[in-house]
Each structure stands twice: as C-alpha cells, then as structure tokens.
Chains A and B, each alone.
Chain A
Amino acid sequence: MLGKGIIKGMAETARNFIGSYTDESRLTTVEYPEERLPQHENARQFPFLVYDGEAPMAGLRCVACQICEKECPPKCIYIVKDKAKKPDFVGKAQFQPATFDIDISVCMSCQICVEVCPFDAIKMDTEFELSHHDRFGALLLDKHQLAKSNDYYRRIHPSEAGAIDQRREEEVKKAEEKAKAAAAAAAAKAAAAKEGAGTSGDAGAADAKGTST
C-alpha cells in the first residue's frame, strides 16, 4: 500500500535516533581533536630516521649511501656525507650523514626511500599533525628532527620492527660467531706459528692444529 515504505523508513530513522543515545555502536563519531582513532599498522605519512640505543646521533642507522636521495621521485631528500666514520651495529665502520634534510612539503609519501634503503635506516612515520605557520623553513626537517628511536618504530609498526630486529639480531649473532671463529682461527694460527717455531714436524702440534680449525 502507498506509504508503507515511508512508515518503515521512519521507524528505522527513529531507531537510529534513539539508538544514538543509548547504543554505543550507533554513534560512531570520533570527536577530533579530543579523541583520535588509532592508526593502522601500515599507515604512512612522512619518513623518519631510525636510531638504535639511547643516543640519537651515535646510534643512527643511516650510512649516507645516498640511494634514497637518488631514488626519491620529487627529490625532497638532501644528504651531505660526513668525513668521519662511526661503527654500526655489527661493529663495522660506516659513513654517516652530516646533513640529512627532508622537505615534507615536497614529499609525496611514496615510500620508495624506505623500499630501497639497504640498512633499514629510513622508515615511514605515522604522525600527520605537522602543520605550521612557517610554510618553508619549518617544513624542512633536518636529521635531529627526523631521528626517532627504534622503540618508537617498534611502537608504530610492531611487526615490521619485530622482523627487522630479529634479522639484525641474527646478523649480530653471525658476526659475533664469525668474529669468534676468526679470533679462534687467528689464535690457533698464532699458537701453530709459535708451535711451528718452537718444534719441527711434531705430530701432536699437527693434531692440535687440525682440531682447532
């Protein structure tokens, strides 16, 4: 009959109206900026530099290889290599950036810099409330502003950070084992050299040499 649909529709809207006061699931408004929705894990806004440990500049993973600068489509990254080197997480001496600037008014959040970085040094941040009155100077972030700790990275992207941390631990372990093996080999070589210098054609020394390799 004419009007039945209207009555059904009005009943539905009345249910919505009353439900928005009584039922949690009916009123889905999030009152920004007092309340905020949590972001998904794969949300991305602008890049930041990861550092391990407590000291930002000393623990910075970036080795200034400049790959991200070359790959960035709008060319918003500006890197100047430092002359001094510093050791990385496995102990090897690496370069470091003296200047690392990202212009976030140019950055288009394409994540290519993250994809090409071989050192897991640059990752995507989820912070978006970066508006400022100064349109040019304040939106050019330098390496001090870009450096954020690995704990922060683990908080915003737990599974990625977890995978990377696991990989780095394995590499550290491997490096340690290799170092230990190299040290043991060097020690055995030194001992064998000393042995070889002391005695000549000794079978026991050959056995010791054989077992220690």
Chain B
Amino acid sequence: MDQLFVNLKHWILSWSLWPDALKPLVSAMLTIAPILVVFPLMFALMTVIERKGLGRIQNRLGPNRVGPYGILQFAADGLKMLTKEDIVPRAADRVLHFLAPVVLIVPIMLSFSVIPYGRKMVPVDLDAGILFFFAVGSATELSIFMAGWSSHNKYALLGAMRSMAQMISYEMPLIISSLTVVMLAGTLSLVQIVEQQGGYLWGWLPQWNLFTPWGLAGFLLFFVATLAESNRSPFDLPEAESEIIAGYFVEYSGFKFALFFLGEYLGLFAISGLGISLFLGGWNAPLGILTWLPSWFWFFAKLAVLLAVFIWIRGTLPRLRADQLMNFAWKFMLPMTLLNVVVAAGWHYSGVAGWNLILRWVVCGGVILVAYQQLGRSFETKVTKRTYRYAE
C-alpha cells in the first residue's frame, strides 16, 4: 500500500508497448502526470473549501448551489474563466503580457519536482534539492514584474512593485529558517532530511524537527514567511480587491487571470510541502503505532492540516499595511531567524556535549523566548496622547 504508486509506475513501464529508447521519456511522463493532475485538482478543491470555510467562520454558508454542498463550484468558476473574453489593453506590451502567467507557472511546477511525497516518491532526487527549490522560487518574482509592467497601468505597476518588495523581504526569513534545518541535517537533499526525521523516540514519540525549540521557532517563522511569499492574507496587500483593485493582475481577464490564481495557490502548496518536509517530518507518521497508513497519506494529511490553518488565519486576521509588513519582515523576522540559527547550533553542540534533554530545551527555548519578547515589544502599539495639527 505504501509503495502503491511506485509499483504502479514500474508495472506500466514494464509493458512491452514502449520501445526501449523511449523508456526514460515514458518514465518522466509517468512521474510528471500525477503532479499535473493532483495539484491543480487540489487547487480547485481548496478554492471551494476555502470559500465554505470562510463562510462558516463568518456565520454564513459558503457556496452551496453547484453540486452537493457546492463541491462543484470550482467547475463553474473554471468554465467562467475559460469563456471570458481575453482583453489585452491596446498600449500593453503584448509579448510580456502573454508571457507573464507562463513565467509564473513554470518555475512553480519545476519546484514541485524536488519534494518527497512519500517513501521513495520524489520526482527528481537532487542532492541540492533545497537550493533548487529556492532558486526557481525566486524566478516567480520576475513574472510579477512582467505582469505589472506590461499592463501599462500605473496602478498595476505600483501593485507589482509592492508585491515584489514584499516577496523579496520575506524570502530572507524563509531561506534562513530553512537553513537551520540544513545545518543540523548536514545535507541539502530533502529526501535525506525527511529520512533523518524518521524513527521514534522510545518507540512512539516522533523525532520531527518541530519538536525542538529551534524547530518550533523556525517552523513558525517559516509559516509566516510562507503566507507572505504567496501573497496570502494577512499579507495580501498587493492583490486584495480593495487595494489598488487587485494590483498587478488588474489588466488580466479570463484564463490568464485563472493562471495567476493557479500559480499563486500552487506556490502555496509547494512552499507548504517544503515546510512539511523540513519541519513536520515529511511523510513520517506522527506516532509509531500509525505507520501502517501509507506515507503519501501522511504527507497529504499534513498538507491538508496546514491548508486548513491557512484558511483559518485568512478568516481571522486583518490585512497588514505595506509599511507594517516590511517592518515586520526586517525588524522582527530577520533577527529572529538569525538568532534561530545560533540557537540551533547551540542545540547541536549541547547535544554533542551530552547535556540533558530538558536542560537543552530550557536553555535554547529560553533564549528564543526572551528574544521574542524583546523584539515583540517594539510592535505593541503604545497608546499616546493624541496631538492635533491645524492648518495655521
């Protein structure tokens, strides 16, 4: 059951239908096709579940007319977007306008190829998996610029610049917090990082990176940076409808808009998948007794939980302003992530020196908590007396 898909692929490859020369191509196709099917389907389902979940949080029903309980709403949305007229502004740069959604989707699809979805189920086993992931992830920012620039629209350009600034600022905490995991695992390969988080303490307690003080802090920072990287609430200033009317994709209609939407959610899935592999133990089961469930089930279960938390946060928090966003990234998250690196090193060396587990937790956790408290102090709003300035 665990290796169901791997065995299926080997069985299909063993058919005598394929000539030998084409076998690598067929193998590649068989690996890529499930990703291209599963993740857009998950995107479609997530839009429905998000709308219904947000509705329930806001004391109302979500969409419930199309299909039972509104499940088929994504089909209606997809049909609507496909049949809309594709308007390109007359002064727009046609080539760039056309290429921007493409340049968004392609790197994200590439970044899906290094995430291990189950035991021995990674599309491409790269030794520098994380580096590849971040390298292609940074190419998506270029597509946002292309989208904003080619629309020949002041507001789209402003939205694109704000979005690019946000994505660049939050890329730093994202990368540095995943750097702590790389440092302690000693490898850039995601497969090995996940395998190192296997095994259970005393037979049942998981050894995920989440259950260490630096792992907990790192995961929370990674989580916040994920929200910011994929332009999701509460960091959705560049694309919210009440701000600069949907920002950099204001001039896009129909299928191109759907591609942008798809790209944003796929980016969310990709970075969440990376976070799961780095911090939440990838495809490992949470308890030792639950390993009879297949590894890919655990990966997608963790992904589902993470997406539910994303939806929950979206329904709870108000949007951050641009300067609040940037302040948060540079003045809080970056110092915390750098401190996290130091604490992770401290954890490692104290483990080597043979300290007690409780003592390590107390010391490392204490350092992080104190720093969090001090850094967070500058973000608490101080209630001061209002001064008024008149036009004299």
Contact = CB atoms under 8 A, between A and B. Distances in A.
A2 B220 CA distance: 13
Q: How would you classify the secondary structure of chain A's contact residues: helix, strand, loop or mixed?
A: helix
A17 B376 contact: no
A29 interface: yes
A2 B376 CA distance: 5
Contact of A6 (B59, B316, B380): B316
Given A12-B316, A16-B59, A31-B64, 20 more contacts: A1-B372, A1-B373, A2-B372, A2-B376, A2-B379, A3-B376, A9-B317, A10-B312, A13-B57, A13-B312, A14-B312, A16-B56, A16-B58, A17-B56, A20-B57, A21-B56, A27-B59, A27-B60, A28-B60, A31-B61
Interface of A: 1-3, 6, 9-10, 12-14, 16-17, 20-21, 26-29, 31
Contacts of A14: 312
Nearest to B378: A2
A25 to B, nearest CB: 9
B322 to A, nearest CB: 20
Question: Which 6 interchain pairs have the tightest Cβ spacing?
Answer: A2-B376, A20-B56, A13-B316, A9-B316, A29-B61, A13-B57
A12 B312 CA distance: 11
B294 interface: no
A13 B315 CA distance: 7
A12 B313 CA distance: 11
22 contacts: A1-B373, A1-B376, A2-B332, A2-B376, A2-B380, A9-B316, A10-B316, A12-B316, A13-B57, A13-B316, A16-B57, A16-B58, A16-B59, A17-B56, A17-B312, A20-B56, A20-B57, A20-B59, A26-B59, A27-B56, A27-B59, A29-B61
Nearest to A16: B57
Q: How would you classify the secondary structure of chain B's contact residues: helix, strand, loop or mixed?
A: helix
Interface residues of B, number: 21
Nearest to A27: B59
A155 B111 CA distance: 66
A17 B59 CA distance: 7
A20 B58 CA distance: 9
Nearest to B65: A31
Contacts of B58: 16
Interface string B59-72: 11100100000000
B53 interface: yes
A9 B233 CA distance: 14
Interface in B356-386: 372-373, 375-377, 379-380
Contacts of A16: 56-59
Interface string B312-345: 1101110000000000000010000000000000
A16 B379 CA distance: 28
A12 to B, nearest CB: 8
A55 B316 CA distance: 60
Contacts of A6: 316-317
